[in-house]
A and B are shown apart, each in its own frame.
Chain A
Amino acid sequence: MLFYTITALTNAATSIVLGLLVYFKNKRAILNKIFAVFCLSVASWASFYFFWLNFGTTKPIALLFGRALNISAIFIAITYFHLITVLLNIYQEKKKLVIFGYLVSFFLFISGFTPLFVRDVEPELSFLWYPKPGITYHIFVLMFFGLVIYSWYLMIKAINKTTGITNIQIKYVLIGTLIGFIGGSTSFFPVYGIPIPPFGNVLVAIYVILISFTILKYHLFGIKVILTEILVGTIGLILFIQAWITEEFWARILNWGVLFLFSISGYYLIKATIEEIRKREQIERMDKELRKTYKELKKLDIAKSEFISIASHQLRTPLTAIKGYVSLIKEKAYGEFPFKMKKSLNNIYSSVERLIKLVNDLLSISRIEAGKIKVEPEKFLLEELIADILEELRNLAKASNLYLKWERTKTSLSKVSMDKAKMRQVILNIIDNAIKYTQTGGVTINYKQVNGLCRIEIKDTGEGMTRAEISNLFKTFSRGIAGRRTWTEGAGLGLYIAKKFTEMHNGRIWVKSAGRKEGSTFYIELPIKYEEKS
């Protein structure tokens, strides 16, 4: 009898503890709620089983508890079926059957208080009094096996259709319930006078544990706390029983002491586990937030790039009109103009050119700084590009009474593979810079190809530079004092872009000057064929 008592107590305890834990882990989840009701049915069946075994010594008391335990068992099957439909996500499809199951269960519940359900108790096997079936009890047994076997069938069907974690969860529940229900159904044998004792009841706890584990797999972090709590609770219970049953005074004191110490350490263990999980969840939350922020920043970045492109377009459009019409007047497309207008027209033209260059440079810098700029190589003749640039700058040089000379090499030059627009900006910026800092004389350009490299030399007879100035020349875009000073003089920005674009082509740019008033020579050297660095 002790075996059945322990079995009943274990089943009741596991069902109550796990049912409550799963419910409180997520009160709002429907799966957790149904599981809690299911556990309540198992727990109340197991509890009345315990009372029936231990207090049902007289026939009326045995009949009372015998009825109570069977009434409790009515709801095990239907709550189980309900749970499976939710787990398999087919509740809506099976809703009618679930409702019908509850209605039948309710009817059986009502009949449970009459002899229609449990008609009597009689001595059976080693039991003093064992419940005997009435008419409605047969309906209960039919419904019980019908719902349980149908649930198994649904799960087997779902296993073939699902993958991943859901598949594993269904497998756990199926294995657990196969063990648990087969074990639990041994209780029915003595009811019908079959001489097999209900030894399988011990297996009921297994399926409650397995289902709990499965439900908690939805929240992988939660399971750690649950397992810790189960471990601490089980050891605590064993220590408590041990302390309770020990008869010797000092051993009893010792056992209570051990239980006390264990309770404290157990409490801190659970607390530490909860804290660890809380932190992990916090990190997970932060990770989510960071990802969200990153996405938003990316969106903003795209919007910013678009804004810059549109803004530069809007700035360039009126400048294009001014530049166009002034150049047409200068080129006498509308006939002769008074000679005294010439200087004014040239001033307007060079001012507008300066503004256009500034817009181009600012656009390039914003893209360089955003790391958005890419080399898009195309094949072309570099000498044609140089010719175009010189044509463009000829007026500027002429206005300052400077010569702009190109010492063309006699050897034939091959096509280059570079980003044409960027190379245009590099060469234009350097020549424009040379013109700007040359008072008398002029600028000489030289272009040759040596050993797979293009080398462009831009030599001026201008200001020249000291060694210190040279060392800071390409570093001026640092927003420092020197940078700001250079900015106001109108250079710096162009040289910075020229350097960046040249480097993007795996080339280099440098300058030589013998010193102040000695002029300078800028060198641009880069591979004839651009190859992306791996």
Chain B
Amino acid sequence: MKKKAKKKILIIEDEKILAEMYHDVFVQAGFKVFSAIESKEGLKITRKEKPDLIVLDILLPRESGISFLEKLKQDAEISSIPVVVFTNYDGQDTKKKAKKLGVKGYLIKANFTPHQFVSKIKGYLK
């Protein structure tokens, strides 16, 4: 029987501790995980690996998550990749902008345990 291909997920997160934690949990849950700590690197990996879903933080060094989303939407090759914003920053304007740019969800990190978050992502990928 042919083994089912692993789902690819890109986590763009600049907080090292959190990035490590989510990386490990998603690997344990059977995902192929890519990590980036900033928008530019994230775009590079997205273009190369075409992940099934992107987990995006908002407050990133140099460029914000919103800027990442804008650039993603401009690139036809990767614009349809679903993005879930996963951040502890919930400024109302940012939330609105992200939703306008078509994100699947805007989740607050502190409200989820890593496993709850993995289930949530699995739900989005169904």
Contact = CB atoms under 8 A, between A and B. Distances in A.
Contacts of A312: 88-90
A327 B113 contact: yes
Given A309-B89, A313-B88, A333 B28 contact: yes
Interface string A305-336: 11001101100110111011101100101000
A360 B90 CA distance: 10
Given A356-B110, A372-B92, A331 B17 contact: no
Contacts of A309: 89-91
Contacts of A363: 90
Contacts of A367: 92
Majority SS of interface residues in chain A? helix
Given A321-B18, A321-B21, A333-B25, A328 B88 contact: no
A356 B88 CA distance: 11
A309 B58 CA distance: 12
Interface residues of A, number: 30
Between A306, A317, A319, A327, the greatest number of chain B beta carbons within 10 A of the residue's beta carbon is seen for: A317
Given A316-B109, A374-B92, A321 B17 contact: yes
A306 B18 contact: no
Contact of A392 (B59, B90, B116): B116
B43 to A, nearest CB: 23
Contact of B87 (A313, A321, A359, A391): A313
Contacts of B88: 312-313, 316-317, 320
A312 B109 CA distance: 12
Contacts of B87: 313
Given A309-B90, A309-B91, A328-B25, A319 B116 contact: no
A333 B91 CA distance: 33
Contact of A328 (B59, B89, B91, B114): B114
B115 A331 contact: yes
A313 B15 CA distance: 12
B92 A317 contact: no
A373 B25 CA distance: 34
A147 B106 CA distance: 74
Nearest to B90: A309
Interface string A455-494: 0000000000000000000000000000000000000000
Contact of A305 (B18, B28, B91, B95): B91
A149 B80 CA distance: 72
Nearest to A308: B91
B91 A323 contact: no
A327 B114 contact: yes
Interface string B75-115: 00000000000011111100110010000001011110111
Contacts of A328: 21, 25, 113-115
B18 A310 contact: no
Given A306-B91, A320-B88, A359 B110 contact: yes
A360 B107 CA distance: 13
Contacts of A359: 110
Contact of B108 (A316, A321, A325): A316
Contacts of B95: 376
Contact of A317 (B15, B113, B116): B15
Nearest to A391: B116
Contacts of B18: 317, 320-321, 324
Nearest to B21: A324
Contacts of B90: 309, 312-313, 363, 421
B28 A324 contact: no
Contacts of A376: 95-96, 99
Interface string A352-395: 00001001100100010000111010000000000000011000
Taking each of B25, B110, B111, B116, which has the highest tally of chain A beta carbons within 10 Å of its own beta carbon?
A: B110
Contact of B113 (A305, A323, A372): A323
A439 B115 CA distance: 29
Contacts of B25: 328, 333
A374 B95 CA distance: 12
A333 B92 CA distance: 35
Contacts of A327: 113-115
Nearest to B20: A321
Nearest to B91: A309
Contacts of B15: 317, 321
A319 B18 CA distance: 11
Given A312-B90, A321-B18, A331-B115, 5 more contacts: A306-B91, A321-B21, A356-B110, A360-B108, A367-B92
Interface of A: 305-306, 309-310, 312-313, 316-317, 319-321, 323-325, 327-328, 331, 333, 356, 359-360, 363, 367, 372-374, 376, 391-392, 421
16 contacts: A312-B90, A313-B59, A313-B87, A316-B110, A317-B88, A319-B110, A320-B18, A321-B18, A324-B22, A324-B113, A327-B114, A360-B108, A373-B92, A376-B95, A376-B96, A421-B106
